[in-house]
Chains A and B, each alone.
Chain A
Amino acid sequence: MPPVAITAHTATSCLGQGVAAHTRALREGRSGLTPCRFETVDLPTWIGEVPGVDAVALPAGLERFDCRNNRLAWLALQADGFAERVRAAVARCGADRVGVFVGTSTSGILETELAYRRRDPASGALPPDFHYATTHNTYSVADFVRTAFGIEGMAMSLSSACSSSAKVFAAAARQLQAGTIDAAVVGGVDSLCLTTLYGFASLQLTSPQPCRPGDAARDGISIGEAAAFALLEPGQAPAPLRLLGVGESSDAHHMSAPHPEGLGAQRAMAAALRSAGLQPGDIDYINLHGTATPANDAAEGLAVAALFGRGVPCSSTKGATGHTLGAAGALEAVVCAIALAEGWLPGSPGTETVDPAIDIDYRREGSALPGMRHVLSNSFGFGGSNASLVFSRGSA
């Protein structure tokens, strides 16, 4: 595919608001995970909660979008001057030539969960202040971003579980190539809710302690929340960061378990390399999907080993941020951007003893790696939806 320029990016997670906060935390190998005290949730697990989300006020005129997910989106858009960059792109390209692509798994469903507690005791009706379309519906967050910036171009939410906000980069790149738009706001936003906390607990996939990706004793995920955004423009635009390739595939195996040999994951990574015109040896770092469930990490380990052997340093940053589900792809794209900008190979916070069965160059500790050029980021989701992205420094 033609390279795409990433002219701005930002992230907000339990590590903090903005790129500088994430850079510091990644360099220190720090985790933002805390024991779960979210809402009325009573589960023995740890979470990555973003402080201050409930205190965020949406701009006047956008009250109908008010829900935890859109507050988190708004908080994130204020960091790193990102909102100003979007406004400048809208002014430069024209409102109808900018597109919006946001990945989310649960959007504002927390609002519906809470509304169900307030059903009318007689009729069972939901309260009149509940707005399905602008909070619960999967599109709500893309609609919110589009409306907040007065964008009139195409817009969509992508919801393929935990690959959602990796796939937004691929979808937007194709539209830039097709000529539908001249710039794209892409991102991922997923916020804590009861559905995912109790849902992953029902599948026995949540750990009672901070998650330990790749660890021999790993026993499940820590759910996090995050919002991360990037501004994509055609490849000739000057930018410190480029999207060089995308690869997508389906497992065709099971709704909630990965293909045991990681065949779908392998296919996505190979497609991303082809799309970027690179060989496995060109990749300097892989940010693994690395959720910390026994099955996911084993399958991804086999897939990475099959393509890269032990030749490429790998790590998972989910021990720092938690698994931010539909936001993970965009958040880890920003992690990759930081790695490239800093020449810093992130470690795997929380991981103590790497599972010897995962036969790849798994890095527990971060380290300097000057001259890094190309990095790969993996995102694999429920339903066997896989996406891998190649990011590169400077001009392609």
Chain B
Amino acid sequence: MSLPSLWLHGIGLIAPGLDHWTQARTVLRGEAAWANAPTVLPPADRLPAAERRRASRVVRVALALGLQALDGQDPADIATVFTASGADGHNCHALCEQLAGEDRAISPTRFHNSVHNAAAGYWGIATRSMAPSQVLCAHDASFGAGWLDALGQLQTEDEVLLVAYDSEYPEPLHACRPLPDAAGLALWLGRAPRAHSLGQVQTALVRGAADAMADPGLEGLRAAFPSLRALPLLERIARGDTAPATVEYLAPQHLQLRFTPR
């Protein structure tokens, strides 16, 4: 079954050893080797000072990804889809620890940062965007859920910014959900081409096996971070390869994404 096609205008990527889409593209083309390194998160300098100081890792990665994909475009009128397999893990740990103790007078800031839509809320504050914002979770299938929701948004919106992101929990939750670091990707999508569009993507839901990355390091990233399950698609885009990428989604369905450069 085939679904409406969409245009890809911009990409953001942040992961261990990958600081930016332009650098990641050379790695995905095989022109440079991937080397593991802690994720580098830029400061959330679009936020007002008070919020910037308190911005958690999950908020910083999401904001940076979105801005990277938009590459200077004014975000104010662009609808957003934020999809994350979890929320702010460090904050969640601190809340659960305190609620398990005697003094349960938790900090109001901790509480409002605990909501799954914290990154979306800060995005609105940082960009002054009053456009609709969707906030999703599908655990390991969160990228696919976000992709399908973005496709749905394009039924009514001209453009949508999809931001898929993850951040780690500290112990003891880390043992139950071993996300190693913060990472994610952002895709600026639209119904119609822009002058600088990279190309078109056609979506289908298919059964069978999802694609893995040939490079063991990159495959490690794809497997470790739900937001990076789309790496096979980004590899096709980086290489201008029009063979469809099968991106892991919810069994028994996967997303088959066919990129056509313009």
Contacts and interface: CB of A to CB of B under 8 A. Distances in A.
Interface stretch (A17-25, A243-251, A313-321): A243-251
A92 to B, nearest CB: 17
Contact of A263 (B99, B130, B205, B253): B130
B216 interface: no
Interface in A101-153: 105, 109, 112-113, 116-117, 119, 124-126, 130-133, 137-140, 142-143, 146, 152-153
Contacts of B253: 96, 152-154
A65 B34 CA distance: 38
B117 A381 contact: yes
B232 interface: no
B134 A112 contact: no
Interface string B248-262: 001011000000000
Contact of A126 (B107, B175, B252): B175
Interface residues of A, number: 68
Contact of A254 (B4, B125, B136, B152): B125
A256 B118 CA distance: 10
A180 to B, nearest CB: 6
A167 B130 contact: no
Interface of B: 1, 3-4, 51, 85-87, 92, 95-97, 99-100, 104-108, 111-118, 120-122, 124-125, 127-139, 141-142, 144-145, 148-149, 151-153, 155-156, 171-173, 175-177, 205, 250, 252-253
A202 B137 contact: no
A198 B111 CA distance: 9
Given A112-B173, A383-B118, A255 B145 contact: no
A117 B100 contact: yes
A17 B189 CA distance: 43
Interface of A: 1, 42, 96, 105, 109, 112-113, 116-117, 119, 124-126, 130-133, 137-140, 142-143, 146, 152-161, 167, 171, 174-175, 177-180, 194-195, 198-200, 202-203, 248-256, 263-264, 267, 271, 275, 381-385
Contacts of A253: 124-125
Point out which of B106, B116, B129 has the most chain A C-beta atoms below 10 A from its C-beta. Answer: B116
Contacts of A199: 95, 106, 108, 111-112, 114
A171 B86 CA distance: 20
Given A142-B138, A177-B152, A178-B155, 5 more contacts: A105-B116, A132-B177, A160-B135, A179-B3, A384-B125
A154 B132 CA distance: 21
Nearest to B82: A160
Candidate in B118, B129, B132 with the most chain A CB atoms within 10 angstroms:
B132
Contact of A383 (B107, B121, B148): B121
A174 B153 contact: yes
A160 B250 contact: no
Contacts of B130: 249-252, 263-264, 267
B250 A155 contact: yes
B134 A158 contact: yes
A130 B131 contact: no
A116 B172 CA distance: 9
B190 to A, nearest CB: 15
A194 B96 CA distance: 9
Interface centre among B4, B142, B149, B171 (most CB of A within 10 A): B149
Nearest to A248: B132
B146 to A, nearest CB: 8
17 contacts: A42-B104, A112-B173, A124-B171, A126-B172, A137-B139, A156-B136, A158-B135, A159-B117, A159-B135, A175-B152, A178-B4, A178-B152, A202-B105, A255-B113, A255-B125, A382-B117, A384-B124
